[in-house]
Amino acid sequence: MEFVTLPNGVRMPAIGYGSYHLFPWKTRKPLTFALEAGYRLIDTANIYLNERTIRRTLKNLPYRREDLFIVSKIWPTYFRDEDCVERTLKRLGIDYIDVLLLHHPSGDFLAGYRKLEQAYEKGLVKAIGLSNFFGEKLEAVLSQAKVKPHIVQLEAHPYCSEKAVLERLSPYGTKMMAYYPLGHAENGLFQEKILQDIARAHGKSVAQVILRWHVQKGFIPIPGSDDPDHLRSNMDVFDFHLSDEEMARIATLDTDRRFYVPTPKKEAHYVRQIPFLWK
Whole-number pLDDT of residue 45: 96
**Would you write out the chain's pLDDT as a tens digit for each of its 279 residues?**
899 999 999 999 999 999 999 988 889 999 999 999 999 999 999 999 999 999 999 999 999 999 999 999 999 999 999 999 999 999 999 999 999 999 999 999 999 999 999 999 999 999 999 999 999 999 999 999 999 999 999 999 999 999 999 999 999 999 999 999 999 866 689 999 999 999 999 999 999 999 999 999 999 999 999 999 999 999 999 999 999 999 999 999 999 999 999 999 999 999 888 755 544
Whole-number pLDDT of residue 185: 65
Whole-number pLDDT of residue 186: 63
Please check whether the domain covering 3-185+218-230+255-278 is classified as CATH 3.40.50.620.
Answer: no
How far, in Å, CA of 42 to CA of 2, rounded? 15
Identify whether the C-beta of residue 225 lies closer than 8 Å to the C-beta of residue 234.
yes
Torsions phi, psi of 68, nearest 5?
Answer: -110, 155
Torsion of CA 116, 151, 141, 52, to 10 degrees: -40
Active-site residue numbers? 48
Whole-number pLDDT of residue 184: 83
Whole-number pLDDT of residue 272: 84
Contacts within 8 Å (CB) and 24+ apart, 1-7: 1/38, 1/40, 1/238, 2/215, 2/238, 4/175, 4/218, 4/220, 6/127, 6/150, 6/151, 6/173, 6/175, 7/148, 7/150, 7/172, 7/173, 7/174, 7/175
Whole-number pLDDT of residue 44: 97
Pairing of the two strands 69-74 and 220-221: unpaired
How far, in Å, CA of 1 to CA of 68, rounded? 13
